[in-house]
Amino acid sequence: MHQMTTTFVRRLRERDEAAWFELWRAFGPVLRAQLTKWGNGRLGQETVRDLSQETLAALSKSIDRFDPSCGVRFSTWLLAIARHSLSDEIDRRMALKRGAGKRPSHLEEAWMGGLGDGVDAAYEQRIFEAKVAAAIRHAESDADFLSFEIYRMRVFDGRSGKEVAAQMGVSQPTISRNLQQARGHLRTRLREIITTWSFTTEEIAELELAGLDQDDSLFDEALSEIWHRAITVDDTW
């Protein structure tokens, strides 16, 4: 594992609240979407949120047993825990219908093996896009306001340079300089986040596969597409 990844896992194991918030801010919406999909219309929004919180609680209790050396993606392990939480909820409902209680099963370490079964490409794609969205949020929070706002208007909103210049009260050359500055900052943040939250070489390679290592115009296009998809999943934007 990369040192940044190791450091992040250690923060989780030390119950670093900021690390847990970062994790759940990124992946919580993806899990809620997956639970909703599994529920097939039978789970209300409140139940989905409860289950996602139970998943986080179960993850917190079992994080010490997560072994990245097994070659399992963290996102895959997270999904297995979510599936476990949903299974317990279904068992509980069935038990209530039968008029009898049922002891919930326990999350076993043996789950670390073969967790890739049943994980679809769409889920992994949403996890990757959640990482990208997190990198964008980080870039927005610590970048110069003017440069990021210009980038947002030009790339994410698709507005012309002339229109942005008029609204922001700056010249066209200023627009170009700030675009370049924001783009460089976004590239740096993307590499940091992808490296920190990736546990396999395949996950690291997703940055290239998504076109986020290309020249400026292709980078902007790929990033904009991912950002727009991510905000449709993340209900906290």
The CATH number of the domain holding residue 75 is 1.10.1740.10
Domain count, the chain: 2
- What is the DSSP secondary structure assignment for residue 14, as one 8-state letter? T
Of residues 19, 50, 41, 205, the one with CA closest to residue 128: 205
Do 133 and 213 lie in one domain? The reply is: yes
Q: What is the pLDDT confidence band of residue 110, given thresholds at 50, 70 and 90? A: very low
Specify the pTM. 0.79
Distance CA 167, CA 155 (A): 15
Query: What pLDDT sits at residue 101?
Result: 52
Q: Which residues contact 126 (CB under 8 A, 6 or more apart)?
A: 30, 33, 34, 233
Query: What pLDDT sits at residue 165?
Result: 94
Q: Which domain holds residue 74?
A: 3-112
Distance CA 220, CA 209 (A): 15
Average of per-residue pLDDT values in the chain: 83
* pLDDT 10s digits, 158-213: 999 999 999 999 999 999 999 999 999 999 999 999 988 887 888 889 999 999 98
CA 141 to chain centre: 17
